[in-house]
Structure 1
Amino acid sequence: MALALGLLIGLERGWQGREQAEGTRVAGIRTFALIGLLGGVWGLLAEQLGPAVLAAAFAVLAIVLATAHALSQIQDHDVGVTGVIASLLTFALGAMATLGYGEIAAAGAVVTTILLGVKPTLHRWVRRLEEKELHAVLKLLLISVVILPLLPNQGYGPWEALNPYRIWWMVVLIAGISFVGYFATKLIGERRGIMATGLFGGLASSTALTVNFSRLARGRPGSENILAAGILAACATMFPRILVVSSIFSWTLASTLLWPVIAMTIVNYSGAALFWYWSGKSSSQGGGARLKNPFELKPALIFAALLAAIMLLSRALSEYFGDAGVYLLAAASGIADVDAITLSLANMTGEDLAVTVATLAVLIAAFVNATVKAGLSLGIGGFALGARVGGVTMAVVGVGLLTWWFSA
């Protein structure tokens, strides 16, 4: 394996320097293969003689490579040290392969080869990166990688209904979806970028995506069709997700939800496809909407505050109405989230709750959630966007109710 990893990295290095004359390269495919094998040999010796010999071998190799690189600068003024770093990494991966870390070493070799091979693409991206985009990347990493893990994942306040981790996770989602949408629009155009963001962003949070796209609609007159298509595509992912979540604890509940969910999914995606088609007919769309800041924290914070209030309301209804308020609780929970109430009801189905009651409660939560997103589209994005999303949402709710009624 150590030899194979060296050959893999050396193949990419040899291909990059294939135009250079023999003997003018510091390291090619054979040298990298031998470096990988050398790391494997010293890894085996280290098991018998101790880790100090492996460290010494690594240090000697580093000195040899640095000397060779310095001598090569006499004729070639390329001061890049990528080849030297790749050689040292190949030695380390070869040693890992013989020290019981074969899978990690193989993954590291593949990642190393990919990074070496995509150099032109990476450099092109860096040249195109604007200052505001670089700052957006750093801010997104700050709120997700630094702040989010520090927050406690437990309830606080009345009935312990407020979970700081969940609330801030929604902030990260909204900001992240805005970030992805910005770069998708920049790379592949407004029309395709918005639709791609809708399809994949809905897997994380269709509500968060609805907030972001509705906000975009206020600054992009004439883009209502494509933004409505993106919102509806994101909202449609909620229905298959209901089946997946419910099936975790109750196949019976999932089977009774099957036909209503299928019908609502078809109607929702059909509406998205229709507005996508109409967006292509409009000459005013995709033709130069100004790209704004890729990272805007204020809308995400406002929505997080709204989510906290909804969490508190849902728990209050549960406390005051108890089991008799299953439908009311489902409606209140659906304002913020469908997955949580679906999982709870699926866990109760059969023993503490009748399947028919659980089925209708899940559908109520889905109807309320879809209606809330239509309301967000109207309240944030304006009448033109709200009418499009709301019209399809009414059709989705109607078809869902009819299908449930006839399949019950």
Structure 2
Amino acid sequence: MFENLAFQLFISVLIGGVIGLERESVGAADSRGSAGGIRTFALVSLLGGLAGFFYREHIQSVFLFLSSFIGLLVLAYYIVGTLITKRTGLTNEISVIYTFLLGFLVTTGIVPMQIVLALLVIVLLILSLKTRTKRLMLGISSKEVEAFISYAIIAVVVLPFLPNTSFQLGSIPSIHSFFGNYNIDMGQWAQLEIFNPRKIGLIVALVTGIDVFGYILGRIFGEKKSFTLASFVGGFISSTSTTQALAEKSKKSTLLRPLIGAALIANMASFIQIFLLVGPINSKWLVYITPALFIIIAASLGLALLHLFDGKKDLKEQKVGKEKNAKSDAIFSLIPALKFAGLLIVVKLVTKVCLILFGQSGFIISSIIASFAGLDAILINLADMAGNIITFKMALVTFLLVNATNLLSKSFFAWLQGDKRFALRFFLSSVFIVATSFISLLLVR
């Protein structure tokens, strides 16, 4: 059926009509108008379909004529539009070109019809984003643009050129002779990896990329009135900062249960973030710990909903401030990224040294101590070592312990900064989440 020319031309007309309908709806709300509506775009797509047919039949002269005609028509429209309306946008003109190309692809059969329809959906999606993107762009400052560019330079320009070489302790010049002077055999210490520039760069780009993504979510949803949504976004950026902010808020509010629910939502967001953090580093270990993550997320969500629904009447009266649900106003800064890289190198060295000296218990204890400085570096270290230096199960046990330490430490900070009743209820909720998380050990081998 797809090979029938009449059917292909009919599909081309439909594709053009759909795009024209979207453009006409935009033109109705725009005083400057648009490049056309349903009929114009349907005709353009039909011309594209005919051009594709002539191209397929090797009638190049007609194909070139139709293609040149559309190209000159678009160019003329742009020039006249620029002179008369003083507009400089190219969306309408590019829409016409894409419509012509989609009609061309339908009749040539260069790509399957399913791909053509998928491209149509993508074009419609991009065109429909005009209002949202305009609203977002109006609030973007030059500093934010510079921050995005800086992150792009790190992730796209610098990262690919970092050497993918592991620098080990034994590779340090003259270190063997130095220890040899003291009659010390380095043995397995010589194989101790200090750092791999490519791995460190990838991890820094990944972690800061998650921060950038969280910032974008904050910009999109931060102005909304939804208490839980704002807490979720804040937790995605920094669950510790969001929990502390809510704890401080509890001293000035009598509505403790909605605040506790919001704090649990924020921490649930940080557990969801683990999928983004661990997946690119060690997908097999991520699959292994997925039952544990689902249990932790389900327990957090269940308790959060319990608290939120209990105080839902009061919750509607609350608004979340946007001043403390992020780490800082900066999107991306090189100094914090380098500090995180340094912290990660130290954590990896200390835990590996403890593993060599004291075995599994030393590794677990050192990881727990390091978790007070943050969970991201520990998780990345576990993902990097799981299946290589330590077993998947040992990495899971360590994760559950450091997560318990990190979660319970937030209760301590809440006790210092917030209402004692808030801290107590958050502590009891944390204990429940920690207790249920260890059930996952029964589900793995």
* Superposition deviation, residue 147 in structure 1: 4.0
TM-score (norm 2): 0.63
1:368 aligns with 2:377: no
Q: Which moved more, 1:224-233 or 1:36-45?
A: 224-233
* Superposition deviation, residue 44 in structure 1: 4.1
Aligned counterpart, 2:319: 286
Partner-residue secondary structure (3-state), 2:329: coil
CA distances 1:60-91 after superposition (whole Å, capped 9, x unpaired): 322123335666789x7364553333212212
1:295 aligns with 2:294: no
1:106 aligns with 2:125: no
Aligned ranges for residues 129-168 of structure 1 at < 5 Å? Answer: 129-152=140-163, 155-158=166-169, 159-162=192-195, 163-168=199-204
Amino-acid identity (%): 21
Aligned ranges for residues 62-77 of structure 1 at < 5 Å? Answer: 62-68=71-77, 77=85
Gap runs ≥5 in structure 2: 1-10, 170-191, 253-258, 372-376
* Superposition deviation, residue 135 in structure 1: 4.1
Aligned counterpart, 1:7: 17
1:30 aligns with 2:39: yes
1:123 aligns with 2:134: yes
CA distances 1:340-380 after superposition (whole Å, capped 9, x unpaired): 747976799xxx97xxxx65762343122331355478679
| Conserved 8 A contact 1:6-1:34 | yes
Aligned counterpart, 2:300: 268
1:88 aligns with 2:107: no
* Superposition deviation, residue 9 in structure 1: 1.2
* Superposition deviation, residue 301 in structure 1: 3.8
CA distances 1:254-283 after superposition (whole Å, capped 9, x unpaired): 8xx96x777655543355446767997589
Aligned counterpart, 1:204: none
Relative to 1, partners in 2 of residues 1:43 and 1:327: Cα closer, same or farther, differing over 3 Å? farther
Aligned counterpart, 1:209: 238
Letter in 1 for 2:41: F
Letter in 2 for 1:197: V
Gap runs ≥5 in structure 1: 202-207
Partner-residue secondary structure (3-state), 1:187: coil
CA distances 1:272-299 after superposition (whole Å, capped 9, x unpaired): 4467679975899736454762515244
Aligned counterpart, 1:205: none
Alignment length (residue pairs): 382
Q: Which moved more, 1:152-161 or 1:109-118?
A: 152-161
Q: Pick the aligned partner of 2:52 from 20, 43, 63.
A: 43
* Superposition deviation, residue 196 in structure 1: 2.8
CA distance in 2, matches of 1:250, 1:69: 52
Aligned counterpart, 1:229: 264
| Conserved 8 A contact 1:327-1:364 | no
| Conserved 8 A contact 1:151-1:165 | yes
CA RMSD of aligned residues (A): 5.3
Letter in 2 for 1:269: L
Relative to 1, partners in 2 of residues 1:95 and 1:275: Cα closer, same or farther, differing over 3 Å? same
CA distance in 1, matches of 2:268, 2:111: 43
Aligned counterpart, 2:347: 310
Q: Pick the aligned partner of 1:175 from 211, 231, 234.
A: 211
CA distance in 2, matches of 1:96, 1:266: 47
CA distance in 1, matches of 2:286, 2:332: 40
CA distance in 2, matches of 1:161, 1:293: 33
